[in-house]
């Protein structure tokens, strides 16, 4: 049992340097990376002669021990391979992953995932997993055996969330996070395929209710020209317009834009949401229009290459502080734009509306969906099609009305 890839080696080893009083020594799984070694117990102790005989023995007791050691080795190796494939291998991430694999409860699995997200500074994901874990604990307590998470358990949890007043969209978010955890547990051999509750003929996660989020060009024009005489409204209105014009950029990416990201009249950035989850770095490019430049000139920092374009972050924040500032800024935009929407009779306007409006306005103009998908930074067309679902319904309603114009 020996695995080596990209500077990481995994091997079963006999810890003869630390014999026990009985003369037996522990069998461990050793992971070496950058000359640093971590050891993971298998729970098996052997005499030196038994260890030597282990590869070829036919003795029933030793054969069973060999199978258990091989199982422990495979759990570690699978975790290493997965982290390497995702480009996020470190011994700290491996420890967090194996903490989940080593537990026998859904709660421990979630705790390990949360620790992994924190180590990777993926604070938004960490907070989302924490919310789901708290929901699980409200429903079933602090120790939910993995073996109890059946199709029936999932359906009862769904009813519990709905009774709490959660929307179908929120229920779907909870279920997708649980599914991600159980996928990890299945890869690590902690649950069998027969125990896995998701999929066709089992529990299928429903899509959330579609919300009409996109605005028309006329409505966006009303927003662009809206004034109430206050600087705060003008600022947050312009920030919202910039999000819309900058390919519906997410706020987390907007606050990190620097002047050095403007190259040949285009803003170039990689979505924070996907930069860690894809093998290739997918850069989005946006032409800086006159309106966008006017917003930069009015509200931006002084133009220096390393400066942030807009004065939201100062560059001294850690990941948690950056996330908190981004959330506060998003709430500030949404609060002010909700007031603008009410004054204009448009309804609730949010940063999410800007992203959906960007996609839908292009679709209404006949733009190819592949271009829209690339502009949004989506990894597949299906995600883009979900964004455009409300537009498709508008088209169906309009076409249905045409049939009765006689």
CA-derived radius of gyration, the chain: 27
Widest CA span in the chain: 96
pLDDT value of residue 366? 80
Judge contact between 215 and 343, C-beta under 8 A. no
Using CB atoms within 10 A of its CB, is residue 195 exposed (0-12), middle (13-18) or buried (19+)? middle
pTM of the full structure: 0.65
* pLDDT reported for residue 31: 94
**CATH code assigned to 217-402:** 1.10.443.10
CA angle 358, 359, 365 (to 5 degrees): 95
pLDDT at site 406:
40
Please give the Cα distance from 245 to 249 (Å, whole number).
8
Q: Which two tokens stand for residue 44?
A: 């098996």
Numbered ranges of CATH 1.10.443.10 in the chain: 217-402
| Three-state secondary-structure class, residue 258 | strand
For residue 402, what is the enclosing H or E element?
helix 389-402
Which pLDDT value is given to residue 168?
87
Q: For residue range 34-73, list pLDDT tens digits in order.
A: 999 999 888 889 999 999 999 998 988 898 898 888 878 8
Provide the residue count of the chain.
406
Q: What does the pLDDT read at residue 171?
A: 94
Weakly modelled stretches of the chain, pLDDT under 70: 100-103, 207-212, 273-281, 378-406
Alpha-carbon 294 to chain mean position: 34
- Please choose, from the candidates 114, 136, 141, the residue with its C-alpha nearest in 3D space to the C-alpha of residue 125: 114
Pairing verdict, β 8-14 and 25-33: antiparallel
Q: How high is the pLDDT of residue 384?
A: 65
């Amino acid at each position: 049992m020996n695995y080596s890839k990209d500077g990481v080696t995994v091997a079963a080893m006999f810890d003869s340097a630390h014999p026990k009083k009985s003369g037996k020594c522990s069998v461990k799984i050793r992971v070496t990376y950058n000359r640093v070694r971590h050891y993971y117990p298998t729970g098996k102790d052997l005499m030196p002669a038994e260890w030597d005989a282990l590869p070829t023995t036919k003795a029933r007791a030793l054969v069973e021990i060999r199978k258990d050691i091989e199982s422990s080795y495979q759990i570690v190796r699978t975790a290493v391979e997965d982290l390497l494939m995702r480009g996020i291998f470190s011994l700290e991430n491996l420890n967090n992953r194996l903490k989940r694999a080593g537990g026998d409860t859904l709660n421990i699995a979630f705790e390990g995932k949360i620790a992994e997200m924190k180590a990777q500074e993926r604070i938004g994901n960490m907070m989302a997993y924490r919310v789901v874990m708290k929901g699980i604990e409200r429903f079933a307590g602090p120790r939910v055996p993995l073996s109890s998470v059946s199709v029936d358990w999932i359906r009862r949890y769904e009813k519990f969330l709905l009774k709490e007043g959660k929307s179908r969209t929120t229920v779907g978010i909870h279920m997708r996070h649980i599914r991600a955890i159980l996928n990890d547990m299945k890869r690590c051999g902690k649950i069998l395929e027969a125990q896995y509750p998701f999929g066709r003929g089992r529990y299928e996660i429903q899509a959330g209710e579609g919300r009409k989020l996109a605005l028309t060009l006329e409505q966006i024009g009303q927003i662009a020209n809206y004034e109430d005489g206050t600087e705060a409204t003008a600022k947050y209105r312009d920030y919202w317009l910039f999000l819309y014009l900058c390919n519906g950029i997410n706020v987390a990416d907007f606050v990190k834009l620097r002047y050095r990201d403007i190259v040949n009249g285009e803003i170039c950035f990689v979505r924070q949401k996907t930069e860690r989850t894809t093998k290739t770095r997918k850069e989005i490019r946006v032409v800086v229009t006159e309106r966008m430049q006017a917003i930069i000139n009015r509200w931006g920092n002084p133009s220096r290459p390393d400066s942030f374009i807009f004065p939201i972050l100062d560059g001294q924040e850690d990941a948690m502080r950056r996330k908190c500032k981004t959330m506060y800024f998003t709430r500030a935009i949404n609060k002010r734009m909700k007031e603008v929407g009410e004054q204009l009779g448009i309804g609730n306007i949010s940063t999410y509306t800007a992203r959906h409006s960007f996609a839908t306005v292009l679709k209404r103009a006949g733009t190819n969906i592949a271009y829209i998908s690339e502009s949004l930074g989506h990894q597949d067309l299906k995600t883009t099609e979900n964004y455009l679902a409300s537009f498709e319904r508008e088209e169906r309603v309009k076409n249905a009305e045409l049939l009765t114009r006689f």
